[in-house]
Amino acid sequence: MTLSCHDLLSVADLTDGDISALLETAASFKDISLRQIKKVPTLRGRTIVNLFLEPSTRTRTSFEIAGKRLSADVVNISGAGSALAKGECLKDTAKTIEAMNVDAVVLRHWSSGAAYKLAQYVEPPVINAGDGAHEHPTQALLDLLTMKDSLGDIAGAKVTIVGDISHSRVARSLIELLNRLKAIVTVVAPPMFLTPGIARLGCRISYSLDDELEGSDVLYLLRVQKERQSANMFPGFAEYTRMYGLTKERWARVSLRCKIMHPGPLNRGVEIDPDVADSLGSLINTQVTNGVAVRMAVLYLLIGGGAEHE
C-alpha cells in the first residue's frame, strides 16, 4: 500500500482512501513504540533528511524517532548549523541534499508555501512539517487519530477550536480534515484572530467561548503566538485569558466527556490553566504519542513501497 500522492504538502493532497490508510497504519504502528526493542526493519537502507528551519520540539523529534523506529537513517539539518546561515538559498540547499541520494525530505519553514517550492526543486518526496501560517498536515492527522481513539467516531463530533486562527497552520489543516470526516467544527476567537473567509473552510464562527462550552466533545486550544502579535493590535494576555482562556471556572462547566487538545507548545496560564492542561480530560500528551505513530505511517506509505513492517 502507498499513498496516492508523491509529496505530502497539504491535507488536500490526500484522498479519503489515503486518510483511512494513514489512520489504520498509524494505529498498527503504535504497538512498536511499546515494545522493549522499538525497531522494525521496514525502511532499512532509506535516508530521510529533516530540514527544520524554524524551531520545533514535537514535530522534529517525532519525525526523527519515527524514521529510526522504521530503521531509516535520519539526518537533521537546522538553519543555524547549515550553509543557509551563510546565505545559501533554499534551492541550493535542496539540490545539495538531493545530490546525496536521499529518499525523503521533511521540511519545517517559516514561510507559507516553502514546502511547495522545495517539492519543485527535488525529486524525492517532500513532507510539509509546518510552513508559515499555511498548513501542518501531519499535526492534523495525529489529531484525527487522537480524536478517533477517544471519541470512537469523528462524524458528528462537535469540535471547538479556540484561539489564534489567523496564524495557525494547524487550524487550517485540521478544519479541512474534520470537515471531510463530517465533524461539526466551530472556531472561537476575537475578530483580530480570525482570517477573512475562514468560514469557507466549513466551520461556524463564534466570538464567545462561554457560549460554546456546553455541547463540545473536544475543546481544541491554540497557542497565542506571542512572537507574531502586533503590539498595537493585541489587547494583552490577561484580557485574552479573561475572554478566551480555558480557566478552571470554565472547565468546571464543561461536560465530563469533553476532551482538551492542544498542538503545543502551550502558554500555560494564557490559553489554558496549568491544572486544566494536566487534568484527566487532557489528551495533550496522547497527541504527542500518536505523533510518532502517524509520522511512521506517513514515511512508510510514502517511501516504504508496501514493504512488510512486522
Number of residues that bind ligand CP (CB under 6 A): 9
Binding segment (CB under 6 A) for ligand CP, from list 55-63, 242-250, 252-260, 267-275? 55-63
Query: Binding residue for ligand CP (CB under 6 A) from 15, 57, 96, 255?
Result: 57
Q: Is 157 helix (H, G, I), strand (E, B) or coil?
A: coil
Q: Are 183 and 125 in contact (CB under 8 A)?
A: no
Q: Are 264 and 284 in contact (CB under 8 A)?
A: yes
Does residue 58 touch ligand CP according to CB under 6 A?
yes
- The answer for residues whose C-beta is within 8 angstroms of residue 66's C-beta and 6 or more apart is 292, 293, 295, 296, 298, 299
Q: How far apart are CA 299 and CA 302, in angstroms?
A: 5
Say whether the peptide bond before residue 41 is cis (omega within 30 degrees of 0). no
Binding segment (CB under 6 A) for ligand CP, from list 15-23, 57-65, 73-81, 99-107? 57-65
Q: How far apart are CA 208 and CA 144, in angstroms?
A: 25
Binders of ligand CP among 228-267, rule CB under 6 A? 263-265
- The answer for residues whose C-beta is within 8 angstroms of residue 222's C-beta and 6 or more apart is 161, 162, 163, 164, 165, 168, 170, 171, 262, 263, 271
Q: Closest approach of Cβ 263 to ligand CP, in Å?
A: 4
Binders of ligand CP among 262-281, rule CB under 6 A? 263-265
Nearest CB to ligand CP, comparing residues 243 and 288:
288
Q: Closest approach of Cβ 74 to ligand CP, in Å?
A: 16
What x-and-dash track marks residues 8-47 binding ligand CP by CB under 6 A?
A: ----------------------------------------
Does residue 132 touch ligand CP according to CB under 6 A?
no
Residue 48 grid cell? 530521510
Q: How far apart are CA 71 and CA 46, in angstroms?
A: 8
Query: What Rg, from alpha-carbon coordinates, does the chain have?
Result: 19
Nearest alpha-carbon partner for 5 in 172, 137, 139: 137
Query: Binding residue for ligand CP (CB under 6 A) from 42, 59, 168, 267?
Result: 59
Does residue 56 touch ligand CP according to CB under 6 A?
yes
Which residue type is seen at 25? T
Q: Closest approach of Cβ 220 to ligand CP, in Å?
A: 12
Binding segment (CB under 6 A) for ligand CP, from list 54-62, 120-128, 155-163, 238-246? 54-62
* Burial readout 82-109 (b: 16 or more C-beta within 10 A, e: otherwise): bebeeeeebeebbeebbeeebbbbbbbb
Does residue 225 touch ligand CP according to CB under 6 A?
no
Does residue 113 touch ligand CP according to CB under 6 A?
no
Binders of ligand CP among 190-219, rule CB under 6 A? none
Q: Closest approach of Cβ 171 to ligand CP, in Å?
A: 12
Does residue 139 touch ligand CP according to CB under 6 A?
yes
Query: Binding residue for ligand CP (CB under 6 A) from 124, 125, 130, 163?
Result: 130
Q: Is 137 helix (H, G, I), strand (E, B) or coil?
A: helix
Which stretches of the chain bind ligand CP, using CB under 6 A? 56-59, 130, 139, 263-265
